[in-house]
Amino acid sequence: RLANAVTPLWRLPYQEQLQVKYKSQRKILQTLASRLEELGIDAQKPGGLCCPLQPVVPSPIINGYRNKSTFSVNRGPDGNPKTVGLYVGTGKARNIVCVKANHLENMPLKHKQVAQWYEEFICRSPLDSCILFHEGGHWRELVVRTTSRGHTMAIITFHPQELGQEALATQKALLREFFTYGPGAACALTSLYFQESTMTRCSHEQSPYQLLHGEPHIFEELLGLKFRISPDAFFQVNTAGAEVLYQAVGKLCQTAGDTVLLDICCGTGTIGLSLAHQVSKVIGVEVVEKAIEDAKWNAAFNGISNCEFHSGKAEAVLPQLLASWEDARPLVAVVNPSRAGLHYRVVQAIRNCRSIRRLLYISCKPEGEAMRNFLELCCPPDPRKKLTGEPFAPVLAIPFDLFPHTVHCELVLLFTR
């Protein structure tokens, strides 16, 4: 049941998986074409699509490709309340159970090993797991990040409840001891982090990641560049697949030597830095402060001097940046937002900036909030909605399989005007 929930296509040969994904991407582009027609835009192309769709680009690695996994702590099928795994079931049906992920094909062995030792540690602990916040308990999520350079980062989330500083210090010392000199030393962690969190998710600013052992960062190589990764920085989950994706993005941008590349939701700067050699300047915007610190470090370490990175919400930074844009150089935008899509003010700023003639939208869930963004980018000008700029039109779609065995793709949609 877990394999079917997390990796629904795992039983299919890989070529068949790609065909399933191609069909789902076709449906998305047909939906977009229909929605554009409703807005009075003649968007129907052959096959009822809004633009040509290329075949799904396969992932270079099919099994164990994930460089980041998040494990929950909850009651297992055997009743063990300290099971470390992934959820099966729904809250509505009240049949949620936490199942070990040892058999999942998209997850590397190292992630499964760290999860196994974390479970061993919390089973030995007199403290309970935190299943429902109001019912007490402490041990919560585990995030494992790995790189092709052999680095492993583990981040443990802990609900402090009413524990004092001395009791917290004891737990941190026990964790450090277990993973450095105890049985957990088998994981050979590069970094061990601890975060006290009273919420489902906490940013570093809300509750700092505390380094218990090892190096503050892990490092990855991508397209010949070295990247530093912080605990909460975004990095594509499939490194080999990301290299293929970014090379294609570089070609689709059609940049000339004088082009300025605007990298919105830039994370640790991977896209902008990998394309910096083919443009005159890169401007990156990202909400996670630590990721921007990483991006600046990555630029300096790789000897790239034509990049500037801005920390803050894109809807706050971008309108200011583009409102006064008077640079005569061509401006190409690449956006790679989370599943929540782009804030309306970001779309407004892009639409109303005449210098942006070419836009690449990278989405892992194009049928979700991204669809709203596509319509906002392409709809006729509407002064009431402060969309005064000329509309964009979709001209090409290329899906990249960054998530083998799952139903998801990373869709790149090229818009021009």
161 contacts: CB under 8 Å, gap ≥ 6? 130, 136, 137, 138
Encode pLDDT of 33-78 as tens digits.
999 999 888 877 778 899 999 999 999 999 999 999 999 999 999 9
Query: How many other β-carbons are positioned within 10 Å of the β-carbon of residue 323?
Result: 10
Encode pLDDT of 243-282 as tens digits.
999 999 999 998 888 899 999 999 889 999 999 999 999 9
CA distances from 217 to 16, 107, 145, 190, 212 (A): 38, 21, 11, 8, 12
C-beta of residue 374 within 8 angstroms of C-beta of residue 34: no
C-beta of residue 346 within 8 angstroms of C-beta of residue 334: no
C-beta of residue 26 within 8 angstroms of C-beta of residue 409: no
Residue 322: predicted pLDDT: 85
DSSP secondary structure, 283-313, as one string: EEEES-HHHHHHHHHHHHHTT--SEEEEES-
Higher pLDDT, 388 or 402: 402
Least confident of 226-235, 305-314, 320-329, 380-389: 320-329
Encode pLDDT of 97-134 as tens digits.
999 999 999 999 999 999 999 999 999 999 999 888 88
Q: Give the chain's domains with CATH numbers.
A: 14-60+238-416 (3.40.50.150), 68-220 (2.40.50.1070)
- In angstroms, the CA 20 to CA 32 distance is 19
Encode pLDDT of 202-236 as tens digits.
776 678 999 999 999 999 999 999 999 989 888 89
Identify residue 404 by its one-letter amino acid code: P
Residue 93: predicted pLDDT: 66
With a pLDDT cut of 90, the percent of the chain lying above it is: 74
DSSP secondary structure, 234-299, as one string: ---S-HHHHHHHHHHHHHHTT--TT-EEEEES-TTTHHHHHHGGGSSEEEEEES-HHHHHHHHHHH
On whether 336 is known to bind a ligand per the annotation, the reply is yes
On whether 4 is known to bind a ligand per the annotation, the reply is no
What are the helix (H) ranges across 165-231?
165-180
DSSP secondary structure, 101-154, as one string: -TT-TTS-HHHHHHHHHHHHHHHHSSSPB-SSGGG---EEEEEEEE-TTS-EEE
- What amino acid positions are annotated as catalytic residues? 364
List, in sequence order, every residue forming a beta bridge with 398; answer none if it has no partner.
412
- In angstroms, the CA 320 to CA 314 distance is 10
